[in-house]
Amino acid sequence: MKLREDEVLVPAPGGAIRSVVLRPVGDDPLPGVLLYTDIFQLTESTLRTARRLASAGFVVCVPEIYPHGDLAGVALEFDDDGKRAGLAGAAATTTAQFDADRVAVLDFLALRADTTTLFATGFCIGGHLAFRAALDPRVEATVCFYPTGLHNGALGADADAGSLALAASIGGRLMIVFGSQDPHVPAAARVEILSALYAAGLEDLELHVYAGGEHAFMRDVGARHDPVLTDLALTEAVSFFTAR
């Protein structure tokens, strides 16, 4: 599968959002996927995952999650300095800013001539952002990979973004993937998330907990990476998006 890959600037109220759009070569209309990165932004690791998803027949748009400050245009390294910078970028971004950028990117995808339905996905903080994207009635299906802060509401500059409290507004299908050995979302936190979703009336959802999976097990750099679980998770995500 040959892919086309373009860097674009998505118009947004706070300033343009640098994004990468990937799709199979051709002009056929395909489902559009908003893919949120982890705190390290547009790394080659995340883009490799985006390419795999695009090759399954999607138009994938990967925006920077910190597009308006000092980290605009910066892909962070997977080291302590990169982690500190990424966490600082999150701490400087409010939920309202994340939400405004999300609307802008979904508007951009919806207006493209080569997109049909809209989906969302994301990793780590991006998994939480994908959950908030699911609140948009245009998003028909969402896959959240090990979303952080969902159980206690922590998101960027806000101690409690209230994401779970808004779960009843989700009209599309929802799938959440965790690793069983994720210290950021341990078993008690996963139970809290599932209980809140059920209480909100979202009983028709999928929860996958992969035995032995660590946090960020899909990031293909570092000791946490699990290639087998990564392949399984991506296969399940594609199957979920295409409604099997």
Catalytic residue flag (residue 81): no
CA distance 88 to 102: 20
Catalytic residue flag (residue 182): yes
Catalytic residue flag (residue 151): no
Strands 206-214 and 30-36: unpaired
Catalytic-role residue among 61, 68, 101, 124: 124
Catalytic-role residue among 68, 128, 151, 215: 215
In sequence order, what DSSP letters do the residues of 6-58 get, joined into one string?
EEEEE--TTS-EEEEEEEESS---EEEEEEE--TT-S-HHHHHHHHHHHTTT-
Catalytic-role residue among 38, 136, 182, 226: 182
How far apart are the two ends of the chain, measured CA to CA in Å? 21
CA distances from 146 to 12, 63, 149, 150, 169 (A): 27, 19, 10, 9, 21
Maximum pairwise Cα distance, the chain: 46
Q: Hey, which residues are catalytic here?
A: 124, 182, 215
